[in-house]
Structure 1
């Protein structure tokens, strides 16, 4: 691979914004890719993937490079030099990369790779937490799986098209996919490509949604004609899936505390041809009270640590803090207590997270069922999805039913 100076400098700029300014990697990549309109798909791919790679292995690379916060530009180039050496890429004859100690880098890599927290590039506290929660051998497998680059998975929008037809149309646009057993609407890209520029995407024929996430809406067992509430809808990937499962019939209420997210959802819903959805901003408790005992189905895709999705958000390993985890567990308990009141007698509730920690998952459900708010509910089933077993994101979901 021949390295181009302007692309490498763009990677260094991105790393500076992520590591020193605390900006989110996905937003930084969007910003950096606007630098030069002449960059083609391969150039953009190099910038995005190299940046994500160095972010993913930040702890390992900084240890090898002996680089420390705040990272100066020479330190960031040292990280890039480590990336090159470990990928067998010839170091170019540039002054910024002069004297890159290739043999020492390889030696340090071999040495540090024996220690899990360095090998998997995670903070000490997170390594200890994972081992305590899952046990040593399962955590070792799980964190290794969560450090793999996430594949691109699509969900056919069955309001407009069936999976087989979508596969054919994508193929006509030069995008080859394969089906996934056990995921009825999913297609996996054989090769990474920007699918957002395709006609099929603009026509609302699919959404990008991880295979594990595609299991949540069916878990709620919705029926056309019901009143369904997605109470933590966010930008609405699961809301749109619920609309498809409801065949656009009945009432689908998407709620969130952030109006900006619901505005994005409205745009996506129009593209998807969703007609049975309305959005409601949770500005106060009245919004929830108005729906007490009125919903056939309620989905609580609760805010969480996001540990199950660090494959696609590698910088979250560094942004996540133990205090946040404690705080979010309190939020999860409050959401279960307050939002479950919207379920009507005989109705069903799904509590879901994109976490792999029992303390955010099954333990929260047990706590709820033992509480006053949960005494009317019975536990039906749960599913814990680990990345090391599924090959996709880590997820959890529990289905509960309210007595008549």
Structure 2
């Protein structure tokens, strides 16, 4: 591979924003790709993939390069040089890359590769918490899987088309996909490409949604005509899936504390042709109280550490702090206690997270069932999804029923 100066400069600029200015990697990459209209798919791919890869392996590369945060621009070049050497890329004769000790880099890599926190490039505290909750063996496999690049999975919008038709339409736009066993609405992209420019996407025939995430709406057992509430709807990935499964019949109330996310949900719903969704911002407790004892189904896609989706959000490894875990566990319990009151007797509720930690998952469900608010509920079934066994995101989901 031959390195092009303007592409490498873009990567260095991106790393400066992500590491030193605490910007989100996906937003930074999105901006970088708009920098030069002459860049083709290969150029854009290099910038996006190289940036994400260096973010993913930050601790390992910085340790090999013998640099500490905050990184100077010179240090970012040293980290980039480590990435290039380990990739087997011939370094060009540029001033910033002069004196790169190739042999020492490879030797140091071999040495650090024996220690998990360097090999898998994770913070000490995260390693300790995960070992405590999952055990050495499971965590070892899981963090290895979470460091792989995530596949791109599409979810067919059954309000407008079906899987076979969508597959044919995408093929006409030179995009090949595969069906995935046991995931009725999913298509796996064979090769990464800008699917958002396709006619099929513009016409609302699909959304991008990981296969594990698609299991959540399946578990809720919705039917056309029901009253359903999605309590932490965000930009609406699961809300839209529910609308598709309900055939636009009945009512879905999408709640969130962020109005800008609900605005995005409305835009997506229009493109999807989903007409049974109503958005409501949670600006006071009254919003929840008005819905007490009235819903057939309640979905609580709870805020969480996001440890199950590190493949697509590698910068979360560095943004997440141990104190956040304690705060988010309290929030999860409050949400379960308060939002479960919207369910009517005989109704069903799903509690889900994109975390792999039992303390955010089955422990929260057990605590809820043992509480005053959870006395009228029973657990019907739950599902733990690990990236190491599924090949998709790590997730947890539990189906509960209100019995009285």
Deviations 1:122-166 (A, max 9, x none): 000000111111110110000000000000000000110000000
Match for residue 298 of structure 1?
298
Match for residue 221 of structure 1?
221
SS in 1 for 2:359: coil
Alignment of structure 1 residues 6-17 onto 2, 5 Å: 6-17=6-17
Separation in structure 2 between the aligned mates of residue 29 and residue 187 of structure 1, nearest angstrom: 25
Q: Once superposed, which parts of structure 1, at least 4 consecutive aligned residues long, lie more than 2 Å away?
A: none
Query: What stretches of structure 1 of length at least 5 have no aligned partner?
Result: none
SS in 1 for 2:356: coil
Alignment of structure 1 residues 292-331 onto 2, 5 Å: 292-331=292-331
**Quick check: 213-222 or 34-43, which moved more?**
34-43
SS in 1 for 2:201: helix
The alignment yields a C-alpha RMSD, in angstroms, of 0.5
Separation in structure 2 between the aligned mates of residue 130 and residue 345 of structure 1, nearest angstrom: 37
Match for residue 158 of structure 1?
158
Match for residue 372 of structure 1?
372
Deviations 1:332-389 (A, max 9, x none): 0000000000000100010000000000000000000000000000110000000000
Alignment of structure 1 residues 39-50 onto 2, 5 Å: 39-50=39-50
Separation in structure 2 between the aligned mates of residue 197 and residue 328 of structure 1, nearest angstrom: 36
* Count of matched residue positions in the alignment of Structure 1 and Structure 2: 404
**Residue 18 of structure 1: how far off its partner (Å):** 0.4
Match for residue 280 of structure 2?
280
Deviations 1:277-305 (A, max 9, x none): 10000000000000000000000000000
Separation in structure 2 between the aligned mates of residue 117 and residue 44 of structure 1, nearest angstrom: 30
**Residue 271 of structure 1: how far off its partner (Å):** 0.3
Separation in structure 2 between the aligned mates of residue 263 and residue 70 of structure 1, nearest angstrom: 36
**Residue 41 of structure 1: how far off its partner (Å):** 1.2
Separation in structure 1 between the aligned mates of residue 89 and residue 125 of structure 2, nearest angstrom: 33
Separation in structure 2 between the aligned mates of residue 148 and residue 20 of structure 1, nearest angstrom: 24
SS in 1 for 2:92: coil
**Residue 110 of structure 1: how far off its partner (Å):** 0.3
Query: What stretches of structure 2 of length at least 5 have no aligned partner?
Result: none
Match for residue 108 of structure 1?
108
Deviations 1:152-208 (A, max 9, x none): 000000110000000000000000000000100100011111100000000000000
Match for residue 178 of structure 1?
178
Match for residue 120 of structure 2?
120
**Residue 37 of structure 1: how far off its partner (Å):** 1.4
Separation in structure 2 between the aligned mates of residue 257 and residue 244 of structure 1, nearest angstrom: 24
Separation in structure 1 between the aligned mates of residue 137 and residue 400 of structure 2, nearest angstrom: 31
Match for residue 34 of structure 1?
34
Separation in structure 2 between the aligned mates of residue 86 and residue 168 of structure 1, nearest angstrom: 40
Deviations 1:71-96 (A, max 9, x none): 11110011110011101010011010
